[in-house]
Amino acid sequence: MLYSSEFLFAVQKNWLNRQVIDQLLTKFDCINVLIFIRNPDEMLSSAYQQSVKRGGYTDTIEKYSETFNFFRDVEIFLKKLDQLPGIHPTVYNYSFGRSRVASLLSKWLGSNEVLDVSFPPINRSLTYAEIALQREINVFFGKSGDLVADELCERLPELRSDVIRPNRDAWLAFRAKNLPTIQEINNLVPLAERLAFEEELDRAKPMQATLDVAQIQVIAQSLFGKLVRKA
C-alpha cells in the first residue's frame, strides 16, 4: 500500500497514534514512511504563495511570516515517528533533492528502475506582480484563485516566477522564532538532509510589479470574461 499526501504533518493528530499504528501492523509487517522536508526560506515562500493563490490571503509575506508555524508540526511528526515501534522513516530534504525525486523514490522502493518521463511544468509559482494582483482580488472576492491565478499558471506555465522573500527585519524575526524548532528537527534527520536557513537575504533592488502582454491578455480573458456588463 502506497499513500502520498502533503497533509501528513497537518493531520497527524487524526492518525499518528499507537492505536492506529497497532491496527495497521496487524495487516502489514512494517510501515515505511518517506518524508520530504524543505528549507525554511523556501517553505515560507511556497506556503505564502499557496495561501494567496488558494486560501484567499490578502496581506504581505512579512505579516504572514509572523504566524507561520509549519515546522513545529514537522518536529512533532518526526518525534512521534521516533517513538512508535514498527515505523521506519526515511527523510530527504527536497531543497537539495528536487531534481532527483524519481531516483530517490525508486531507491526507497528498492527498485533499480527510474522512469524518466518528460512532462510540462504544472502549478508554477506566481510572479511578484501576479501575487500583488491576486491579493487585491482576494480582498473583494475571498478565495478566488480560480479567477486569475489558476489561469495564469495553466496558460503560461513556462513563465519564470519570482522568489518572494520578506524584508530583512521580518526575515530575522522569522529565523529567530523558528531556529530552535529547526535545530530539533535536524537532530532527528541525517546530516546530509538537515534544514538550513539562507546565509543572507538577496540584497538586490526591490522587485517591481510588472506584467507582460501575455499576462495582461490572460487576465483580461479570464477575469473580465466572467463579468456581465449591464446595459
**What DSSP string runs through 168-199?**
HHHHHHHHHHHHHHHHHHHTTS-GGG-----S
What's residue 111's pLDDT?
A: 86
Residue at 203 is within a domain: no
Output the CA torsion sign for 58, 59, 64, 65.
Answer: positive
Burial (Cβ within 10 Å: 0-12, 13-18, ≥19) of residue 150? middle
CB-CB neighbours of 18 under 10 Å: 11
Query: What number of CA atoms fall less than 13 Å from residue 185's CA on the CB side?
Result: 27
Output the CA torsion sign for 8, 196, 123, 165.
Answer: positive
Query: Residues of the chain whose pLDDT is less than 50?
Result: 204, 231
What's residue 126's pLDDT?
A: 94
Q: Which residues contact 66 (CB under 8 A, 6 or more apart)?
A: 170, 173, 174
What's residue 128's pLDDT?
A: 94
Three cell numbers, residue 78: 518526526
Nearest CA to 164 among 207, 216, 212? 207
Residue at 141 is within a domain: yes
Residue at 6 is within a domain: no
In tens, the pLDDT along 33-84 reads 899 999 999 999 999 999 999 999 999 999 999 999 999 989 998 998 888 8
Residue 18 CA to its chain's centroid (Å): 28
Parent domain of 77: 12-192+209-226
- Spatial separation of the C-alpha atoms in residues 173 and 99, rounded to whole Å: 31
What's residue 7's pLDDT?
A: 66
Angle, in degrees to the nearest 10, between helices 70-83 and 168-186: 0
Residue at 69 is within a domain: yes
Q: How many residues does the chain have?
A: 231
Q: What total number of domains does the chain contain? A: 1
Residue at 2 is within a domain: no
Grouping H, G, I as helix, E, B as strand and the rest as coil, residue 101 is helix
Residue pair 107/117 in contact (Cβ under 8 Å)? The answer is no
Beta strands in 41-159 (DSSP E): 87-93
What's residue 3's pLDDT?
A: 61
Residue at 108 is within a domain: yes
